[in-house]
Amino acid sequence: MTDTLTERWEAVCPQQRVEPERGVAALVDGTQVAIFRTYDDQLFAIENRDPIAGANVMSRGIVGSRGEAPTVASPLHKEVYDLRTGECLDVAGVAVRTFAVRVRDGMVEVSAT
């Protein structure tokens, strides 16, 4: 667990800019990040780079779920990733990096540490 006193947060956009079941891309500390809001208003942030295709496209993915897991499917080859852990649910050993995300004063913030 990261110590919140040493965590750095970057403001990305107003919360209403992240529409339910959609993603937005942002540059956070030099890394492209995809931010998603699920139908139940939870926010998730993962690296925007598709680890299989190598393209920065995950923010354009299809948001859904598998069982209890909120997911996003890559828009290129449709591999599905758990938004909580970054784990690919279709290809063993593949994952995307996840980031802490929060809303503060109406702004979506992503951890830059």
The residue range of the domain holding 38 is 14-111
Q: Is the pLDDT of residue 100 over 80?
A: yes
Q: What is the CATH number of the domain that holds 51?
A: 2.102.10.10
Average pLDDT, the chain: 94
- N residues, the chain: 113
Is residue 1 a part of any domain in this protein?
no
- The whole-number average pLDDT for the span 100-104 is 97
pLDDT greater than 70 at residue 2 = no
Once rounded to an integer, what is the mean pLDDT over residues 11-17?
94
The sign one gets for the Cα dihedral 48, 20, 64, 69 is positive
Specify if 4 maps to a domain.
no
- How many independent structural domains does the chain possess? 1
Q: Do 111 and 23 form a contact (C-beta atoms < 8 A)?
A: no
Closest CA to 14 of 38, 35, 39: 35
For position 1, what pLDDT does the model report?
Answer: 45
Mean pLDDT across the stretch 85-102?
98
